[in-house]
Each structure stands twice: as structure tokens, then as C-alpha cells.
Amino acid sequence: MRAAPHICIITPGALGSTPRVVKEAQVLTEAGFEVTVIATRTRDLVDLLDHDILARARWRAKRVDFRSRWKWRIRRTGQIALTRFFATTGWELFVDRGFSAFTGNLIAAAKEVKARLYIAHYPAALPAAAIAARSHDAIYAFDAEDFHLGDRPDGPANDLERRMIRAIEGRYLPGCAYVTAAAPGIADAYTDAYGISRPTVVLNVFPRIQAPAGPTPSGTARPGPSVYWFSQTIGPDRGLECAVRAIGSARSRPHLYLRGMPATGYIEGLRRVAMEAGAVDRLHVLPSAPSFQMERLAAVYDLGLSGEPGHTPDNRLALGNKLFTYLLAGLPIVASTIPSHVSFAAEVDGAMRLYAVDDAYALAAAIDGLCEDPRALATARAAAFALGQTRYNWDLEQSVLLTQIEASLSNGGKCARRSGVKNWRQL
């Protein structure tokens, strides 16, 4: 019997902080592929989430350990030196390892795994996938969860980082068997930046099995009404200050629930904003939890918040995973008017309400429009749940990824973009 093709997925992140990698590994394993995931270990708190994932995984994991402070300092010192060489000379010889202290170790780990396809997540993993593929006469691919040239705000302070990302992606993307992107705007941005064919859009949605049993007319969290937000990190540039001011001015007197690991000192500052807004008793911080629990944890709240301020090009283009978590959980979305949200709202009519970026009064009005009208809230929650069940879920979306991978493996990496076949997903 012919052995199943081996696929190696590479990320500079920890398993617990990269749910898209975990979903990809799971679906490829279920499709019959042999799968190895190369990831990192950096913080003990995230390591606890890793353990939950590994306990359920049917694929292999190789985790490169960066938790030793002195070893990290050595790697970081070397990376800084290479970054300075690149900044001074422009020689791309230095850029792969100069961009990230993780890359050298990811390259070594990937070369130890003999696979037919190497899939990189994030620019720091792209050289590892390409070099390992060359070593084993294999093919490689790239998944763009973000538009990485736009990760940082515009301006000269971030010019060097953008130069390095452009050097890495510009060198390796043309050799990819395929490229995927997590949102239509990200796909378009990669085409514009590098002149490649439009990447296949694979939305950052989640399995239906993680959804609650059915829609409910309102949330059950108490005290309420309740507005819910989650992320890996509770920190700045996420629209949370605006949200706190909004709950302070909303007639319905909603409570704001935040789930994640607080950035150092951030919650203290947010509580000061809440005190000024008269809402300090209505701001609640919840502990982190494994990604596969997010939908059922979210389902007990009334509304889901996505308040992205659009402070970077990527932030204006991305569709955050919380949007799809909310739909699968049956929560209506209140979202800021960044371009990606405006486009998405047209696709989820009835389940999403928009407010002007950083406009607390507009956000308060959107919250009140649902929380003060039980019938409107029940209708919006039913619409959200239906969209999660029938359209925005991994059970359906995974077929896009599997089709792309199977096509690339079957033609030896001579992918559709090079042969002129237009099978790229249009949304």
C-alpha cells in the first residue's frame, strides 16, 4: 500500500496561540495525510494551552523550546547583528535569520522532517519551508493569515521591518506551490504587493461541533446585558477604550466582558477609563481558555464586539477569527467601520451592526438597539447562528484548502497560478 503523503506545517508561534495551524493539521490528518507541526515554546502560560491541544491531537508536533532566557538572549543578539548588517548592506544573505530569532531553529527543525509539502505560516517560517523543501526535493506553500507588509503602522519607524518582510516574501512567494489568505482583502493586497496570482481565500472559521446546540433569544451571563470580546492578549489598539466609554454612556447599562491574557499594566489603565465613564463596576476580565472552547464560552453573552481601529494596513484588511466565533456561537456582531468589516457586513445582513471607528456614542447606540429590544436581539441571534451553521464554518471551508493541497501534490507543485488555470477563490 502506498504511504500517505507527509505534510509539514511550520509556525514561529506556539500551538496555543495559532488556532489556524491547529485546524489545518487536524483536517489534513482526517483527510489521510501524515502531518507534523513544527511550532515554538516561549511562555509557560501559553504552554498550558498547548497541552490541551496536544492531548487531543492525532498529528505529531515538534516544539522548538525558546524558554531559556540565556539561550534566547544569544539568539536575539545574533538576530540583531544580522538585522544591522542587512540595514547597512541590503544583502539578502542576512535577512532570513535577521528578521526573526526563531527562523534559524525553524530551518534546522524543518530539514529534519522529510515531507512532500511544507506549509509556512508567517514570514519567519517561510525560509524554513523553502529550504526544507529544497533539501528534500519537495514543494512548499504559504498561508497569509495577515497582510504582513502591513503589520505595523505606516511611517519611517517601521521601514526596516517592512524592507525585511518584502525581501523574504519577495524571494520565496514566487516559488510557492500555492498561497492562501485568511480574508479577501489580504489576498488582494498580496497580489498588488508581489504581482502573484490572487491567493486562495480560506476563511478563519471553526468547526460546527464547537457550536452550542442551538440559538437562544438572549445571553445568560449575569450581570447583563452583556457585550463580549476575546483575544490572545487584552491590550491597546483593539478599540477597547472606546468600548468602555460606550458601556458608560449606553442607556441599557451593559456589562463588558473581556477574555485573554492582559498586557502588562493595560487593565489598570482601562479601569481608569471605566472609572471616568462611570462603568468601572461593569468591566469584567475573564481568563484565557483553549481555542476549541471559544464558541460555547461566547454563547452565554448577548453581543460580540469587534472594535478594530484600523491603525495598520493589515488591521483594515483582516477578518478576525472572533467574527466567525461569534457567528458560530449565535452572537450578533457589533463592529467598527474598517473596510473589511464594511464588506463583511453586506454578507451577513441581519447579524452585524456597524459603528464609526472610535465613536463611543455610535457604539452605545448599536448596543442599545439590540439590548433594549428583546425581539430584535432574538432575531439577530437567530440570524447569526444560522450563518454559522450554513455558511461560515470549517466543515464547509476546509474543502477549499483540501482541494488546493491535493491539486498541488498531484501536479508536483506546478500550481494553477503558473499554468494559467484560474481556480482561485473569489469572494
Give Cβ neighbours of residue 395 (< 8 Å, ≥ 6 apart). Answer: 207, 208
171-186 in b/e form (b: 16+ CB < 10 A) is: ebbebbbbbbbbbbbb
Q: List the one residue out of 395, 293, 322 whose CA is nearest residue 53.
A: 293
Residue 387's alpha-carbon distances to 108, 151, 410, in angstroms, are 43, 29, 34
> Residue 199: how many CB atoms within 10 A of its CB?
28
Return the pLDDT at 422: 28
Closest CA to 216 of 52, 367, 378, 104: 378
Radius of gyration of the chain (CA): 22
The predicted structure's pLDDT at residue 2:
60
pTM: 0.91
The single-letter code of the amino acid at 413 is: G
401 to 124, 310, 406, 424: CA distances (angstroms): 22, 28, 9, 11
Per-residue pLDDT of the chain (427 residues; tens, 9 = 90+): 467 899 999 999 999 889 999 999 999 999 999 999 999 998 777 778 888 899 999 999 999 998 877 777 888 888 889 888 888 888 887 898 899 999 999 999 999 999 999 999 999 999 999 999 999 999 999 999 999 999 999 888 899 999 999 999 999 999 999 999 999 999 999 999 999 999 999 999 999 999 999 999 999 999 999 999 999 899 999 999 999 999 999 999 999 999 999 999 999 999 999 999 999 999 999 999 988 899 999 999 999 999 999 999 999 999 999 999 999 999 999 999 999 999 999 999 899 999 999 999 999 999 999 999 999 999 999 999 999 999 999 999 999 999 999 999 987 654 433 323 222 222 2
Angle 154-157-161 from CA coordinates, rounded to 5°:
85
Q: Alpha-carbon distance 253 to 371, whole Å?
A: 9
pLDDT computed for residue 107 by the predictor: 96
Looking at residue 243, its pLDDT comes to 98
DSSP string for 322-369? HHHHHHHHT--EEEE--HHHHHHHHHSTTSEEEE-TT-HHHHHHHHHH
Q: How many separate helices (H) and strands (E) can be counted in the chain?
A: 18, 13
Q: What is the pLDDT of residue 47?
A: 79
Does residue 153 have a cis peptide bond before it, meaning omega lies within 30 degrees of 0? no
| DSSP per position, 41-98 | E--HHHHHHHHHHHHH-SSEEEEEE---HHHHHHHHHHHHHHHHHHHHH--GGGHHHH
DSSP state of 36: E
Q: How far apart are CA 232 and CA 138, in angstroms?
A: 34
Tell me, what's the pLDDT at 416? 36
- Residues 294/296/298/303 CA torsion (nearest 10 deg): 140
Amino acid letter for position 129: A
> Domain 6-205+395-419 is in which class?
alpha beta
Looking at the DSSP assignment, which residues form a beta bridge with residue 10? Answer: 38, 120
Asked if domains 6-205+395-419 and 208-390 share a fold, the reply is: yes
Distances from the Cα of 141 to the Cα of 31, 118, 173, 182, 229, angstroms: 18, 6, 8, 14, 32
How many Cα atoms occupy the beta-carbon half-sphere of 6 within 13 Å? Answer: 15
| Domain boundaries of the chain, sorted by first residue | 6-205+395-419, 208-390
Written as nine digits, the cell of 260 is 485573554
Per 3-state DSSP, the chain is made up of helix, strand and coil in percentages (nearest 5) of: 50, 15, 30
Which one, of 277, 282, 219, 281, lies nearest residue 246 by Cα? 277
Query: Which helix (H) or strand (E) element contains residue 188?
Result: helix 184-194
Task: Give residues with Cβ within 8 angstroms of 53, minimum separation 6.
Answer: 15, 16, 22, 290, 291
User: In whole angstroms, what is the distance from residue 185 CA to residue 394 CA?
Assistant: 20
Short-list 131, 130, 141, 138, CA closest to 114: 138
Class (C level, CATH) for 208-390: alpha beta
